[in-house]
Amino acid sequence: MSLVPLSGAEQPRPAYFDQPAQIILPRGYNRTRRYPVFVLLPPTGVHSSVVARNFGLDPATQDTFILVFPAGSPTRREYLPDFISFVDGYETRLLTDLDRVMDEYPADPDRVYVGGYSLGGDLSWALSVRNPDLFAGAVIAGSRTSHPVSDGALETLADRGFRAAFLIGNREAPVRYRGINVARGRFDAEGVTFTYEEYSGSHEIPPSTMLRHAVAWVTGEEGIPAPAPRVAAVASPLVEHTSRDRFALWAELPGEVGTRGLVTPADTAIGWRAEWPWPEFYLRSTVAFTTTTTSTGAVAHRLYQDVFAATGDRLLLGGGVGGEWASDVGDGNAFNTVDLIAGLGVRNPWIIPAGAYDPLRVDALLLLRYTLPRGIAEGPATAQVFNLRADSLLRIADRFVLDASLASYTVQNAPVDTLADLSGALDHRVQWEAGLGVRAPSPLLWRVGYRGRRTRALPDGDPHTRGVWVASVEYSY
């Protein structure tokens, strides 16, 4: 394939931008009948006619559409790194071809559809949001759908009754999996009608039956079986999905590394987390069972839960409460505590690569916790009154999670029967921690962190400082 270089640019201008599309009439073509038009767009390196049968659009057998197969078999060198420039040229060529279809054939201008897989899906998305008054629907498969959307485009699509079918493999690369979920999330928020289906596989063309169903659903044409329900999850092995951080189970591994090498940890923790994001609301809850060794050698246990709610669009502000369902220390009595929580969340900050984000997921979160002191009337220790914990995290696309915390708080170090005795049975702790988590594969987050802690038994114990490396694993969905 010959290429005509763009002046002053490394990315070449494809010669097929100057070549007309292939227009194929349906079997039994009748000039007195008005036909819908289906534009089938190509994957990378393949002419669109090669995948026509997969979509149920075999020119030799289909009798429903006027088919448009654009010229060319695009290569990565032609559409990257400047994808938008490529779309500009592709769009100009295609609109010229569609003008020809409308002028020369009995085509219905209100029933023009577009579809494709991989690059074809990316182009289908881009052309749909760039021309909301032209296309009536799109089949978008295996695509990252990263082309930006202009103001008012989605509202126009919704008003015109646009229908989209999003298809993606359940082991697809995160950039595509997240990208297509960004698109369907935006459609959902704006009221654009769509169907979303996952199939077993990575970056491979969807099953022909699924594609045929999608074409039938988008176009409303009979003769092809009805599509599957709007959201149809395909059963898959537990580690073959891309995590969206909605639900998670986590546990610290049974060991820590410090100055004495690998030893049994002073602290252990296991827990569960759920996050429910909506376009303008966010709800998060965690449950954790923890143990920690105090300055007296007694081990404190607690079962803790918190609930945090926030409101906003990309920037969310909110608050919540936390507290212990049960606690003990050294197999004796411990007084439960209650936390007040304030927080700030951010969706899709600048560090998240375009096309790799979830439109609803909270990617950055800062939580501040204040523990209400027990026994106010009994003269609580100063460290009980002046306490604060700050916990932060940053999720970077689908691969990394950074976290850090800083805290000043108290822990009961011996059983007591009355609140009057509590201030003499406390450890004051100043703690700092930072960690890095890596997803491998996406549902499993492997974290390594450094935890430093300065502990002093109240009221006048000697301070002791220690630092250890800790590890944990999290499974999320």
All domains in the chain, ordered by first residue: 3-232 (3.40.50.1820), 247-476 (2.40.160.40)
Provide the pLDDT for residue 180: 93
What is the C-alpha separation between 364 and 366, in angstroms, rounded? 7
Most confident of 237-246, 363-372, 436-445: 363-372
Provide the pLDDT for residue 352: 65
Whether the per-residue pLDDT at 66 is higher than 70: the answer is yes
Provide the pLDDT for residue 174: 81
Residue 182, phi then psi, degrees to nearest 5: -60, -45
Helix (H) or strand (E) run with residue 388 in it: strand 388-396
What is the C-alpha separation between 248 and 243, in angstroms, rounded? 9
Provide the pLDDT for residue 318: 97
Whether the per-residue pLDDT at 437 is higher than 80: the answer is yes
Provide the pLDDT for residue 359: 62
Number of continuous H segments (helices) and E segments (strands) in the chain:
7, 24
What is the C-alpha separation between 363 and 393, in angstroms, rounded? 8
Provide the pLDDT for residue 203: 87
261: DSSP letter: E
For residue 81, cis peptide bond before it (omega within 30 degrees of 0): yes
pLDDT band (50, 70, 90) for residue 96: very high
What's the whole-model pTM score?
0.58
Got the DSSP string for 2-59? -EEEPTT-SSEEEGGGGSPPEEEPPTT--TTS-EEEEEEEPPTTS-GGGGTGGGT--T
Provide the pLDDT for residue 469: 96
What is the C-alpha separation between 125 and 166, in angstroms, rounded? 10
pLDDT band (50, 70, 90) for residue 228: very low
What is the C-alpha separation between 144 and 354, in angstroms, rounded? 10
| Residue whose C-alpha is closest to residue 138's, from 49, 55, 54, 33 | 55
Please give the C-alpha separations between residue 214 and each of 25, 68, 87, 115, 267, in angstroms, as whole numbers: 21, 18, 24, 10, 52
What does the block give as tokens for 93?
């060529």
Provide the pLDDT for residue 227: 39
Mean pLDDT of 272-290: 92
Please give the C-alpha separations between residue 406 and each of 79, 312, 369, 433, 434, in angstroms, as whole numbers: 47, 26, 11, 7, 9
Give the lowest-confidence range in 19-33, 155-169, 228-242, 308-322. Answer: 228-242
pLDDT band (50, 70, 90) for residue 221: confident
Whether the per-residue pLDDT at 1 is higher than 70: the answer is no
pLDDT band (50, 70, 90) for residue 399: confident
Residue 95, phi then psi, degrees to nearest 5: -65, -35
Contact status, residue 436 vs residue 404, Cβ threshold 8 Å: no
Give alpha helix (H) positions in 105-152: 119-130
Provide the pLDDT for residue 109: 96
What is the C-alpha separation between 298 and 13, in angstroms, rounded? 73
Which position has the higher pLDDT, 381 or 47? 47
